[in-house]
Structure 1
């Protein structure tokens, strides 16, 4: 069609300009015609792009004017409750981050009860509080289900079984934690001489937030009893030594320094703990002359147990 138009234009030019116009190659006319068509296509494309950009700007402007306007599909909570029956325990957090209704489902007692029943086995050895007859209580239900999964669910069981006697790196999660309790006990075993186990129960302090930062997301009021956990953010530091060592009272103090080194006999380890009256922030080094320093040597094992660990002593309030 372009060639026919070009030929018609060429014939018309010849009639006006005489024979010299016949020397103009047809290809040039075609190229000029093509350029004009291409330029018109480019103009159309630019206009289309400008229209799309303007449309996006209008949508963005409407979203800014109405930030609470719903975007996407809004499914009923029954759908999310149905989907929750198919997720793995380790994917609970990912599922709760999909939307607000998915998060609300993970707050319900039905979600945690179904999760417990789905992974419960008759041959599982569980403490009395984690057995089926005790799981009918809503108080601390979420915490009890999580603890029970570390007894029954194989991926979680393998996690806690891989902990070595001495950690490869010094744990740093205890810094600025508050010491709530301290006790020691004598361990009688197959060894000729008994071991001594020193236990420090810590509660991790929340990080300092700026004034404009949001607080932690709280569950709905009707599910507060389900999410109650007296041991939330707590952990237990167990240090086993070959000899009994007298230690000063450090309950109520802040744990600021933790080091694990090789003992002087090159056969065991040496642990140093430093406690102070106030936390140490912004990467500052604690002043040893202002705190209480504890040195345990020789050390047989060092273990850090989170509140969900099977060997963590469960609170009587749970």
Structure 2
């Protein structure tokens, strides 16, 4: 009997709340917590739960637009995995520079850096078109290196390269060097992008061959070792 009475009381309470909501649809239902509470809760979420947290309510989403949220998230997770060079397709070469570095051997090695602007994927859905960050957090989302990555190739000696700045990077291959101890990298740059499903024509582009190669790395703009300011 006590269980039935408790169930009936909960059902009646829900009906009253539903009736009040129908009579006053503009009246807010639930508690409205300040944004400081959501900022505090955001300090305990995992990086992979950022999207779930932002979908709780509008204030939770506003917290994910602040610089404090991303700064704390980065300090708790400084180790970011690197990307494989195979992800580079039809990228615009914005910048190129090389520098001499100290290697494991007695003589120095050379580091070739290609900064690319990757083409963003085409989205057919416009569901998030009207969702814009708050005006006071515009500086947080201003990123000139958005969708950029750095292809870093270290060679055992200096290799002269032609001018490729502003060209479209269309092909990347890596295999074993002629000495069977290092790598051999081949890059192809063209003046116009290649259509999907078609192979780039080598006679219409600039081919760059680096051999022997000591190491190859691809760093996204969010990687800790990505050079935001060019000092090389």
Check whether the contact 1:183–1:199 (CA below 8 A) recurs between aligned residues.
yes
Gaps of 5+ in 1: 1-42, 119-162
Task: Decide which structure has greater helix share.
Answer: 1
Given the superposition, is the C-alpha separation of residues 57 and 86 from structure 1 closer, same or farther in structure 2, using an over 3 Å criterion? closer
Q: Deviations over 1:100-158 (max 9, x none)?
A: 3321111134534665788xxxxxxxxxxxxxxxxxxxxxxxxxxxxxxxxxxxxxxxx
TM-score by structure 1 length?
A: 0.55
Task: Measure the CA separation in 2 of the matches of 1:110 and 1:283.
Answer: 43
Task: Measure the CA separation in 2 of the matches of 1:81 and 1:233.
Answer: 27
Q: 1:188 aligns with which of 59, 80, 102?
A: 102
Check whether the contact 1:186–1:195 (CA below 8 A) recurs between aligned residues.
yes
Given the superposition, is the C-alpha separation of residues 216 and 190 from structure 1 closer, same or farther in structure 2, using an over 3 Å criterion? farther
Structure 1 residue 189, shift from structure 2 partner = 3.8
1:104 aligns with 62
Given the superposition, is the C-alpha separation of residues 266 and 168 from structure 1 closer, same or farther in structure 2, using an over 3 Å criterion? farther
Largest Rg, 1 or 2:
1
Partner SS, residue 172 of structure 1: helix
Aligned residue-pair number: 232
Given the superposition, is the C-alpha separation of residues 251 and 54 from structure 1 closer, same or farther in structure 2, using an over 3 Å criterion? farther
Partner SS, residue 51 of structure 2: helix
2:50 aligns with 92
Check whether the contact 1:170–1:259 (CA below 8 A) recurs between aligned residues.
no
CA RMSD of aligned residues (A): 6.1
Q: Deviations over 1:266-312 (max 9, x none)?
A: 11111011111222242322122211111111111001112232322
Task: Measure the CA separation in 2 of the matches of 1:113 and 1:168.
Answer: 20
Partner SS, residue 245 of structure 1: coil
Partner SS, residue 56 of structure 1: helix
Check whether the contact 2:78–2:224 (CA below 8 A) recurs between aligned residues.
no
Given the superposition, is the C-alpha separation of residues 302 and 62 from structure 1 closer, same or farther in structure 2, using an over 3 Å criterion? farther
Structure 1 residue 185, shift from structure 2 partner = 1.0
Question: Relative contact order (alpha carbons < 8 A, sep ≥ 6): 1 or 2 greater?
Answer: 2
Given the superposition, is the C-alpha separation of residues 83 and 211 from structure 1 closer, same or farther in structure 2, using an over 3 Å criterion? closer
Given the superposition, is the C-alpha separation of residues 237 and 166 from structure 1 closer, same or farther in structure 2, using an over 3 Å criterion? farther
Q: Which moved more, 1:296-305 or 1:181-190?
A: 181-190
Task: Measure the CA separation in 1 of the matches of 2:80 and 2:184.
Answer: 11
Q: Deviations over 1:215-249 (max 9, x none)?
A: 59531222101222222211111101112111111
Q: Which moved more, 1:63-72 or 1:300-309?
A: 63-72
Given the superposition, is the C-alpha separation of residues 274 and 317 from structure 1 closer, same or farther in structure 2, using an over 3 Å criterion? closer
1:44 aligns with 2
Given the superposition, is the C-alpha separation of residues 260 and 63 from structure 1 closer, same or farther in structure 2, using an over 3 Å criterion? farther
Q: Which moved more, 1:262-271 or 1:212-221?
A: 212-221
Task: Measure the CA separation in 2 of the matches of 1:202 and 1:246.
Answer: 20
Counting only pairs closer than 5 Å after superposition, residues 108-127 of structure 1 correspond to structure 2 as: 108-112=66-70
